[in-house]
Structure 1
Amino acid sequence: MSQSLSRKQLIEAAEEFGTPLYVYHAEKIEEQLNELNKAFKECNAKFFYACKSLTNINILKLMHKLGAGLDCVSINEVKLGLKAGFTPDKILFTPNCVDFEEIEAGKLLNVHINIDNISMLERFGNKYGSSYPVFIRLNPHIMAGGNFKISTGHVDSKFGISIHQVRHIERIIKSTGLNVQGLHMHTGSEIKDTNVFIAGLEIMFEMARQFPQIEVIDLGSGFKVPYYDDDVRTDVHDLGKKLAQAFTKFEKETSRKLEVWFEPGKFLVSEAGYFIVKANVVKTTTATVFAGVNSGFNHLIRPMFYEAYHRIENLSNPKGAERIYTVVGNICETDTFAWDRKLNEVREGDYLVFYNAGAYGFEMSSNFNSRLKPAEVLFKDGKPQLIRKRDEFEDLLKNQVEVL
């Protein structure tokens, strides 16, 4: 049975901790990771939580306790991972467009380094030779993902080294003695068709044949989660079977047994997250009825930035007559969460909840309009615990230096 928090639990959390409020569910996160372990049980698979989706230290500690590794895209994410208890061998560092010093900082912390740029690969090889293993992030030139903003493996993407530059990679390895431990690709998020992974895997296998020292193929992630009724999700069980067959075939042909790594982020935390707001005003105009809430894209930017859909429910009036609302925030910009959405009648003071709010919700929040960031709460064993205090006014001035 799928884990979820009840309406009663969410209302009680809102009343105890106030709104706007991010709420996470530990057991749902565990359920999602267990599903991946089950789906890929026939593969030599490891999972590294893509912590850019949610980096609260308590979520990182939970992931560590559950046995996941950590995928990091900045040196500070690496440091957070180490602070949360991850050992360096369980951390993969995949920076993009950073200076060489940040890559060196990852090396000094002894984590797995994933390099996605020819110039950085050459500098690393010239300085460290074969003394420190690296991964190489490749761009497979595969268009995939829910939209262009979250597609990362196409020809125009800034991510990865083009597969057509393999000869250049070979020359760097030959001239520097670079120790390449693994090959990596990530084509994007919201991948519905498992054949996208298989197409990428075939490219990676071809590359692996040219690099006999390779031990790992990392397929990134991009597993889709459902956002609304009848929405599709990536069939990870189907993918697990296809990958098991493909890796077995490769092993028979080459006598090489490779590991497959994944970096799920949204898949692990999206459905475990809830964002609770309060309806401040109900405003009828000649065009629509606005439900104006005590939050905005400063707290949940995905609808405005990605045109992402979040299911919304009225926690306070679940049996009210259904009406059509445009749900908007309190930011002094166009700030729309949902257009023409059918909701149970919204009254001023009602609590509304946004589902699928665990990934890239709080993590992308800001203090725009000098609004305060919300609190975060984690439900574990049925009990809510505060894991981040709500901002206070003094936090807005914390790092400012008054000179006038």
Structure 2
Amino acid sequence: MTVKYINNILFFDEVNVLDFAKTNQTPFYLYSQNLITHNFMEYTQNLNTANHLLCYSVKANSNLSILSILSDLGSGFDIVSAGELQRVIAAGGDPAKTVFSGVGKTEEEIKFALSKNILCFNIESQEELNTLNKIALAEKKIANVSVRVNPAIDVKTHPYITTGMRDNKFGIDESEIINLYQEANDHKGLNIRGIDFHIGSQITSLEPFIDALSKVISIIKELKSLKIELEHIDIGGGLGISYDKKPIVSKEDFSKEILKLVEPLDLKLLIEPGRSIVGDAGILVTKVINTKKSPSKNFLIVDAGMNDLIRPPLYSAYHAIKEVSQTKNKKILSDVVGPVCETADFLGKDRMLSVKQGDYLCVENVGAYGFVLSSNYNTRPKIDEYLAKDTDIKKIRIRDTIEQILENEKKCLV
């Protein structure tokens, strides 16, 4: 438990959040290096009997300092753009331990990734397969490939973060997968390395993973009968965290059940965790600008908005919100809303809180898909990010200035 009260003051890891908020501009993100390390090592320790590689999903939180920490722990990386690959390299990550996912890889991105000798391209369509082969031959390279299966599994998560159902844009239908592997086997610019799937995000039970893996194992057996040998199986990511204290599958149970099915295959296991590494390792600290009462609602208007954390309006996502300083004052049912000019600009609705103008609130479990989804909407600066290790706190991203936001437009002003 990284968030706790000591003498009615909120602490995150070992940081006194009230003292830190008083001396630093809000809103800001604060991450725990200890918890990121713990979450990563929990996977590693539970998979230690298997030949495996954890490829951290960069899209979950792409801050260079966080990527550097994970690289030092031995992590590989899962990327979905050339920009993310450049981040991995800038952070000291190894391209040879990096897989490139995503349905829309451009020719420029493919060339760049080939030049950096990445571990594998996860192929999402026949046209992508043909394009990659053409580029590899032109560049006098051999591209390592894995074909992404769409196993048509309903993971019972938010529809925007399902990726393994038939009407999703991701992966290749099971009925077409064998033909695509046979075609890949004939391409001179390609080297078949593996098979992969990714069925969604924020999955809190084992069943969808087991169902998808069972389908993919059947495909592997059929490929083997056709003399198409694989080196690895990539089961993607998607393991969730508990935003609302409800029980979820543990990394230990997840690893144990996955290994039961994968170890007999004698293939290297790749996993692409993101949220389960960084999700619970971050908080957003915000200050109450004003309180407001309407005939039907109480509002706490804070300085963080949907431009800083879009998950609540985008996914109807729940994040616990706590007072940074507890009092004995009566708690009032309130909506926590931001300064952005949108009705959808809220961090939480119907929360029992006791705060006044100038007090601070903490939004929990924002380490994944928090800052990375932020924007400059309403010409608001992207905010500071900090990293704590015990009581030592370092700034790992500097807040935008308005001048920086305007700079590229000023250069083109007509």
By the TM > 0.5 criterion, same fold? yes
Work out the number of aligned pairs and report it. Answer: 395
135, 139, 153: which one pairs with 1:142? Answer: 153
The whole-number CA distance in structure 2 between the counterparts of 1:137 and 1:388 is 34
| 1:51 pairs with 2:48 | no
325, 347, 352: which one pairs with 1:337? Answer: 347
Identity of aligned residues (%): 32
The alignment partner of 2:256 has SS state of helix
Partner of 2:167: 156
| 1:221 pairs with 2:232 | no
The whole-number CA distance in structure 1 between the counterparts of 2:156 and 2:108 is 32
Instruction: Judge conservation of contact 2:374–2:382 (CA < 8 Å) in 1.
Output: yes
Instruction: Judge conservation of contact 2:114–2:136 (CA < 8 Å) in 1.
Output: no
Bigger mean CA offset, 211-220 vs 48-57:
211-220
Q: Which structure 2 residue ranges, 5 or more long, are not aligned?
A: none
Give the direction of change, closer, same or farther, for the CA distance of 1:208–1:125 in structure 2 (3 Å limit).
farther
What is the Cα deviation at residue 131 of structure 1?
A: 2.8
Letter of the 1:119 partner, please give it: E
Partner of 1:97: 104
Partner of 1:393: 402
Partner of 1:244: 259
Partner of 1:254: none
Give the direction of change, closer, same or farther, for the CA distance of 1:313–1:267 in structure 2 (3 Å limit).
same
Give the direction of change, closer, same or farther, for the CA distance of 1:155–1:289 in structure 2 (3 Å limit).
same
Instruction: Judge conservation of contact 2:132–2:143 (CA < 8 Å) in 1.
Output: no
Instruction: Judge conservation of contact 2:204–2:240 (CA < 8 Å) in 1.
Output: yes
Partner of 1:327: 336
177, 186, 206: which one pairs with 1:175? Answer: 186
The whole-number CA distance in structure 2 between the counterparts of 1:352 and 1:387 is 21
What is the Cα deviation at residue 213 of structure 1?
A: 2.1
What is the Cα deviation at residue 161 of structure 1?
A: 1.4
The alignment partner of 1:398 has SS state of helix
Partner of 1:120: 128
Partner of 1:376: 385
Instruction: Judge conservation of contact 1:247–1:258 (CA < 8 Å) in 2.
Output: yes
Q: Deviations over 1:359-399 (max 9, x none)?
A: 11111111111111111111023211111111212112121
Counterparts of 1:2-401 in structure 2, within 5 Å, are 2-4=1-3, 7-8=10-11, 9-111=16-118, 112-128=120-136, 131-177=142-188, 178-209=190-221, 210-211=223-224, 212-229=228-245, 231-248=246-263, 250-251=264-265, 257-334=266-343, 335-343=345-353, 345-400=354-409, 401=411
Q: Deviations over 1:166-193 (max 9, x none)?
A: 2431341343253210111000011122
Give the direction of change, closer, same or farther, for the CA distance of 1:392–1:119 in structure 2 (3 Å limit).
same
The whole-number CA distance in structure 2 between the counterparts of 1:402 and 1:82 is 31
Give the direction of change, closer, same or farther, for the CA distance of 1:68–1:268 in structure 2 (3 Å limit).
same
Instruction: Judge conservation of contact 2:121–2:143 (CA < 8 Å) in 1.
Output: no
What is the Cα deviation at residue 40 of structure 1?
A: 2.3
What is the Cα deviation at residue 126 of structure 1?
A: 4.6
Instruction: Judge conservation of contact 1:372–1:393 (CA < 8 Å) in 2.
Output: yes
Letter of the 1:118 partner, please give it: Q
What is the Cα deviation at residue 42 of structure 1?
A: 3.2
Letter of the 1:233 partner, please give it: I
The whole-number CA distance in structure 2 between the counterparts of 1:175 and 1:70 is 28
The whole-number CA distance in structure 1 between the counterparts of 2:328 and 2:148 is 51
Normalised TM-score (structure 2): 0.91
The alignment partner of 1:387 has SS state of strand
What is the Cα deviation at residue 92 of structure 1?
A: 1.3
Q: Deviations over 1:27-54 (max 9, x none)?
A: 0101111211223233332211111111
The whole-number CA distance in structure 2 between the counterparts of 1:123 and 1:171 is 16
Give the direction of change, closer, same or farther, for the CA distance of 1:145–1:380 in structure 2 (3 Å limit).
farther
The whole-number CA distance in structure 1 between the counterparts of 2:48 and 2:156 is 25
Instruction: Judge conservation of contact 1:378–1:386 (CA < 8 Å) in 2.
Output: yes
Give the direction of change, closer, same or farther, for the CA distance of 1:64–1:11 in structure 2 (3 Å limit).
same
What is the Cα deviation at residue 135 of structure 1?
A: 1.5
Instruction: Judge conservation of contact 1:329–1:337 (CA < 8 Å) in 2.
Output: yes
The alignment partner of 1:399 has SS state of helix
Q: CA RMSD in A?
A: 1.8
What is the Cα deviation at residue 244 of structure 1?
A: 2.2
